[in-house]
Structures are given as structure tokens and as C-alpha cells.
Chains A and B, each alone.
Chain A
Amino acid sequence: MLERVKLTLGRLGHNFINGVWRVGAMTRFFFLVLAASGTSVRRFRLVMREVYFSGVLSLIIIVVSGLFIGMVLGLQGFQTLQRYGATESIGVLVALSLVRELGPVVAALLFASRAGSAITAEIGLMKATEQLTAMDMMAVSPMSRVIAPRFWAGVISMPVLAAIFSAMGIFGGYLVGVVLIGVDNGAFWSQMQAAVDFRYDVLNGVVKSFVFGIAVTVIATFEGFDAPPTAEGVSGATTRTVVSSALTILALDLVLTAFMLRGDA
């Protein structure tokens, strides 16, 4: 009995210490990546290749989900706004919720599961098949040749994807609101333009997605780099990437929103 309690406590403590260790190691890893970024600037082709894999290939899922989310927002918003006779505000509702919150957050979640997991699996497998060690042997730093380009590609792709997501979402809201339900076209856009501010809403959304891009790629590359070099290890690391990216995105979103709203009031 006592043994079991001891064991459970020990495991809890181990998990806790492991978690703290990961946070510390990830921060150190982030600075190492920044320090190794010289090659990514000099050989920008490397970054472009990664943007193609993590950004361009994520376009379809981003565009389609953005469209659907905008349409759902339009429908749901219409149901509620109808009660107050304010259906023209449907554009405001769709645009503000997309530009401020849903665009950056959902695009980042999709990016984490579409591109983040792929990055982790790729780097983890490179490690398992000893490609990273081989690079080191040839005096090619895996940090600057493999990790940093993927990091910068994520940082570039994320704001672009979030902006596309929001724009597609607004188009989806327009399709449902104006084309399907028949809200007045002029009122839809003019109310939206009166309520959405470029600096406070659009640019803050871009800042958010930029931060999410950094967070997701740091987590994805770190988990891959840190993965035990076995099939099981790589699969575990991929799962951890998606889970901890999602949690980090949502937690960061709360913090960023709290900061951004303070200046606005």
C-alpha cells in the first residue's frame, strides 16, 4: 500500500519535473534556433522550400475551413440577431469574430495539426535514421540546415494563412448572409467597415498569428529534435506536438487578447 502511494507520488513528481525541464529546454532551443538562423537568410531557398511544404500545402484546408466557419457564423449569428431585428449587423459579427479571434486561433490550430505534426515526424525520423548525426559528421549543422529553415517558414506562413482564413471566412459569411438569407448588401459591408478598425482589429490579428506561428514551430521542431529515435518515440512526439501546440495557442491567445483589449478601452 505504502509502496504504491510512494510510486504514484514519484511518478507525479517525475512528470512535473519533466514538464518544467521541457519548458526550459524549449526556451533554450528557441534561442539556439535564432542563433543558427544565418544560413536561412543567406540561403533563402531553403526557407522557401519549407514554406511550400508547410504553408502552400496547408492552403486547401485553411481556405475550406475558413469558408465553412464563416458560413456557420453567418447562420448562427442570423438566428440570434433576428430576435433583435439587427440582422444587418451580421457582417460586423462575422468580421470581428474572425479577424480578432477565430482567424488567428483556428488557423494556428489547423496549422499545428497539418504542418506542425509533419515537421515533428520528419525531423524525428531524420533523427531516428541518423541523418542528423550524419550531417553533424559532415560539419553541416542540422540546427541551421534543418531546424531554422522550418522555423522561419512557419513564422512566415502563419500570418499569411491566418489572413487568408479570415478573408475566406468573411466571404463565407457574405455568402450566407447576403446571397442566401438576403441581408442588404450595402448594410452588410458598411456596418462591417464602421466596426472593424485596421489597427486595432486587423493588425492585432496579424500580431497574434505571428506569435502563434513562432510558438507552433518551436514546439514542432523541438519535439522532433527531442524525439526518442524509435518508431514509438516519433509517434509520441507527433502527438505531443499537436496537444501542446493547441494548449499553448489557446493560453497565449488569452494573454494576448488581455493585452490588446486593455489599450482599446
Chain B
Amino acid sequence: MREKRVNIFSTIVAVLVMLFLIAPLVVIVIASFTPTAVVVFPPKGFSLKWYENIFSSSTHFMEGLANSLKIGLLATLLDILLGVTAALSVCRHDFKGKNALLNYFTSPMYVPSVAFAFVLLQVYSQIGGVPGALRIFIGHFIIILPYIVRNTVSVLHVFNWTLEDAATSLGANPVQVFFKITIPVARPGIVAGALLAFLYSFDEVALSSLLSTPKFITLPIRIMNYMELTFDPTLAAISTFLIAGSLVLIVLMDKFVGLDMFVK
């Protein structure tokens, strides 16, 4: 009886929090289909004209999307190489300064991205002539590295390394051991880390807004620039487009790594 009282209270709060979390997203999706420039509820009619806008060249949204995807994918791929080797170095071997090294690998997490962006901006302005894509790429591949290292480490942490020795004693060469034993075991951590890293890069604003050049602008910056000039449901349309993308990602994540990996 007593527990029930606790549960009713937490149930009510939980439901309210869920409504709070979902409300802005629902509003955005409905707003994207309204025919009027000012969003009114309930919507007066139905229209897809704002979706036409996001594909038209005047908004540069598709160009921004291509830029964001390029930076995000390249930075994630490079960091899978750097991050997995880094994670292996601190997990497989026992040596003095191991924890310090792990802290070094994850240190970009503790630096406010706006501070790091400003440091890079000053360095670039001293060097001169660094192209826009590279300016943003360098910033992104550094700040997302900790996600891959940490998630890979959290899996390798509990890995029984004698499995590698067993494989070796059964005649596997080091390359086979690596690709047939170590990588498959580490895979959930690598996949989860890579997903989080990619998302961070794809949504990143502070760094990109300071480092982008007029020739190379990522999607979130395009959306923010558009917002400053016009506040119409084109923004709702591009937002709905991105929300749909996240939905696909959640389904994929649930299928391949399971959503429980986020509960730490």
C-alpha cells in the first residue's frame, strides 16, 4: 500500500516529463504542414509548400546537409581508427601512467567547444589560407574523439584478454586474432561511440559557427542563419526532416546495439 503511493507520484511525474520532452517535436511536425506563414493551432488547411523550400537552392539547406554529412562521416571514420587503437593501448596493456593516458584521450570533452573554437580561429588566422572544410574538420575530429574512446574502453574493460592468447595458441596469426576476436568483441562499443560521435559532429554549432567560411557552411549554421532573416514554417519543414532522420537512427540503434547501452 505504501509503495503504491510512491509509485503513483513517480508515474505522474514521469508522464508529465514525457509530455514535456515530446511537445516541441510534435508542434514542429504539425507546424511544417500548415499553409500559413504564422503557425496557428489548429492549422487552417494542409500544405507541402514549405518542404519545396528546403529543397530549393535559395535556402542552401541541401548544400549544408551535404557539408555536414561529409564532415561528420570523415571525422567519424578517422576517429574510429584513432579511437580504437587508443582504447586498445590502455585496455590491453598494463603500464604506469595508463589512467593519465586515458584522461588525455578524453580531455577534449572537458574543454568548452566555444573555447576550443576560438583557439583554433586564432591559430588559423595566424597561419592563413586554411580552407573552410578543413577548419571545421580539424575541430570536429578532435572534439568527437572522446566518445569513441570511452565507448570502446567501456566494452574492452570487461574483455577477457586470454581469449587472444587462446586464439594464438590455436594457430591464429596476429591479424586474424585482431579481426576475428578483438574487433567483434569491441564492436558494440565502437558502433555506439561512432554513432554518438557522428551525431555530435552533425549537430555541432558553436565550433562550426566560429570556424565556417562563407564558402563552407554546415546545416545547423544554415538553419540558424535562415532563422535570423525569416521565421516561417520552412524551418519546421527542415526540422521535421531532421527529426525523421533521428527516428530512423533510433530504430537502427535498437536493432544493432540495443537502447540499454545508454543507461550507464
A, B from the same assembly: no
